[in-house]
């Protein structure tokens, strides 16, 4: 559309332009997050503030200061439809995968969070396929769970494995993976791994790397959330990963400093809390009256030297419904995933955990706590009771079994059988070097000869009949293991 022929009276002129932030005069009636356009209607940028004389906008690329800027009278929006599944896009909806652009109705990326009346409690599980999370830190559909830890210790791997695992779950989830502020190489690696594991069949990737404009890096999490909300409005379940919000906070700090806003703690603007709160509050489980869909949020937060008391980490911990804390010490000991259960919590996921899994794994945290205390006791006393030795061995067994290789996930039904085998003592007479071998055989047989058992467990009620079937099957696993070991 040509604005000169459409009767538009407001014409903006760029007074200054620095690092993607423009100061524009001549647009007195704009509102925050309004999309600005060039003369031909193509998006030029988005408004982030104004004063009595000027408008401050984030521009999408280098601009000619002589070019006039026009209002769109609309919130910043992108084309959103279910055709975005399997695509890699930028914050304007433009394709980054070499395919044709998606044409659809434009939907604003900034929206108010749903009210309490429009929501329902979180009661349905989101299975990650990661044993230590599903058993001790369960996540529900509609929850916001922070993944926090130092650089390069497995945060992105946990998020990607959660997305990958949705491909084998019987109740499907649409996934959105937001890459924000990472290097182009890291973004390409995310795309490659998700593609290798066929996760792009149900996933959209929104990418804004460190090479992109401040506007792109600022908008990326909001674009991902808008796509997730679109799926939720259709009554579907969606999961959005923000990788990561530490870089997003840094981007917002850079923007604020360029706008000469007063810096607060650690030079961050005072409204960075409300920025992320407004973003993450948009996740949730909607009521049946409002379609019954859900949007689950997994924000990632990079810490510096394990400091979770810094400004942005404490903000995100207070906003979310729990955190998964990755510990560098555990990572260096090759305990993977390096999740510190003592410093991690899931505040609302427990009520969404499958009842059978909750029943079978309810004692794991206690067993690990007892093992830690008794290990300290062994350092003080030379002799300990037989009962204490048994508890130490049980704790060591659980620690060994919750270790997991990346990209190798388990269904919750498989986890039920595995930890029921622990509960019934089928690992107790084995040496430590045999534990992993029995687990491997158990999983292999469940995925081949004993698929019917998995289907029975799916009913989510532990009847006497199912309990007996599980025990008989585990006993058969043990017999086959002993037979194979003897051979």
pLDDT tens, position by position, 338-371: 999 999 999 998 899 999 999 999 888 888 888 8
The fraction of the chain above a pLDDT of 70, given in percent, is: 97
Give me the pLDDT at residue 487, please. Answer: 60
Among candidate residues 21, 41, 31, 25, the one with its CA nearest the CA of residue 73: 31
> How would residue 72 be classed by pLDDT, with cut points 50, 70 and 90?
very high
- Would you say residue 388 has pLDDT above 50? yes
Q: What's the rounded mean pLDDT across residues 30-38?
A: 95
Determine how β-strand 21-25 pairs with β-strand 284-285. unpaired
Nearest Cα residue to 45 out of 211, 253, 213, 226: 213
**Quick one: pLDDT at residue 2?**
46
d(CA 130, CA 133): 6
3-class DSSP state for residue 91? coil
Query: What is the pLDDT at residue 8?
Result: 52
Are 80 and 226 spatial neighbours (Cβ–Cβ below 8 Å)? yes
Helix or strand or coil: residue 301?
strand
- Catalytic status, residue 347: yes
Annotated catalytic residue, options 347, 365, 372, 447: 347
- Residue 196 above 90 pLDDT? yes
More reliable by pLDDT, 465 or 4: 465
> What would the pLDDT profile of 158-189 be if each residue is shown by its tens digit?
999 999 999 998 888 999 999 999 999 999 99
Length of the chain: 487
Run of H or E including 448: none
- How confident is the model at residue 277, as a pLDDT? 97
Whether pLDDT at 1 is above 60: no
pLDDT score of 279 more than 80: yes
Q: What percent of the chain has pLDDT over 90?
A: 71
Strand bridging mode 237-243 / 174-180 = parallel
**Closest alpha carbon to 279 in 425, 144, 388:** 144
pLDDT at 23 over 70: yes
pTM across the whole model: 0.94
Whether cis (ω within 30° of 0) applies to the bond prior to 347 is no
Distance CA 54, CA 317 (A): 36
Most confidently predicted of 273-287, 391-405, 460-474: 273-287
Split at pLDDT 50, 70, 90, the class of 206 is very high
Average pLDDT of the residues in 435-449 = 88
């Amino acid at each position: 559309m040509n604005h000169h022929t459409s009767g538009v009276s407001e014409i903006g002129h760029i007074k200054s332009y620095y690092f993607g932030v423009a100061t524009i005069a001549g647009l007195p009636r704009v509102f925050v997050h309004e999309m600005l356009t060039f003369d031909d209607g193509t998006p030029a940028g988005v408004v982030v503030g104004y004063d009595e004389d000027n408008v401050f906008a984030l521009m999408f690329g280098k601009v000619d200061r002589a070019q006039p800027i026009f209002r769109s009278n609309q919130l910043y929006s992108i084309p959103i439809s279910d055709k975005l599944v399997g695509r890699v896009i930028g914050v304007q909806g433009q394709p980054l995968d070499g395919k044709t652009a998606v044409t659809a109705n434009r939907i604003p990326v900034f929206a108010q969070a749903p009210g309490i009346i429009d929501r329902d409690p979180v009661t349905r599980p989101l299975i990650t396929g990661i044993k230590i999370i599903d058993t001790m830190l369960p996540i529900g559909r509609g929850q916001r769970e922070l993944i926090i830890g130092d650089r390069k210790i497995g945060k992105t791997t946990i998020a990607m494995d959660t997305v990958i695992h949705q491909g084998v779950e019987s109740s499907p989830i649409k996934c959105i993976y937001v890459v924000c502020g990472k290097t182009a190489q890291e973004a390409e690696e995310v795309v490659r791994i998700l593609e290798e594991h066929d996760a792009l069949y149900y996933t959209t990737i929104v990418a804004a790397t460190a090479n992109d404009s401040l506007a792109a890096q600022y908008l990326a999490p909001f674009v991902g959330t808008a796509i997730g909300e679109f799926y939720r409005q259709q009554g579907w379940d969606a999961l959005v990963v923000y990788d990561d919000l530490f870089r997003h906070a840094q981007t917002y700090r850079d923007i604020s400093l360029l706008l000469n806003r007063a810096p607060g703690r650690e030079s961050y603007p005072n409204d960075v809390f409300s920025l992320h709160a407004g973003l993450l509050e948009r996740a949730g489980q909607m009521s049946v009256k409002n379609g019954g869909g859900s949007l689950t949020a997994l924000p990632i937060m990079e810490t510096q030297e394990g400091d979770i008391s810094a400004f942005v980490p404490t903000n995100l911990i207070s906003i979310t419904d729990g955190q998964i804390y990755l510990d560098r010490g555990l990572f260096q000991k090759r305990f993977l995933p390096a999740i510190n259960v003592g410093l991690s919590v899931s505040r609302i996921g427990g009520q969404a955990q499958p009842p059978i899994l909750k029943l079978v794994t309810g004692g794991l945290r206690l067993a690990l706590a007892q093992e830690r205390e008794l290990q300290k006791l062994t350092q003080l006393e030379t002799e300990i009771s037989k009962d204490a030795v048994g508890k130490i061995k049980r704790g060591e067994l659980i620690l060994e079994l919750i270790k997991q290789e990346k990209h190798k996930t388990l269904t919750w039904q498989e986890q039920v059988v595995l930890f029921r085998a622990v509960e019934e003592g089928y690992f107790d007479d084995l040496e430590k070097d045999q534990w992993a071998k029995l687990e491997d055989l158990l999983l292999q047989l469940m995925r081949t000869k004993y698929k019917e058992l998995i289907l029975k467990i799916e009913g989510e009620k532990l009847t006497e009949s199912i309990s007996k079937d599980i025990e008989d099957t585990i006993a058969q696993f043990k017999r086959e293991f002993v037979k194979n070991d003897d051979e």
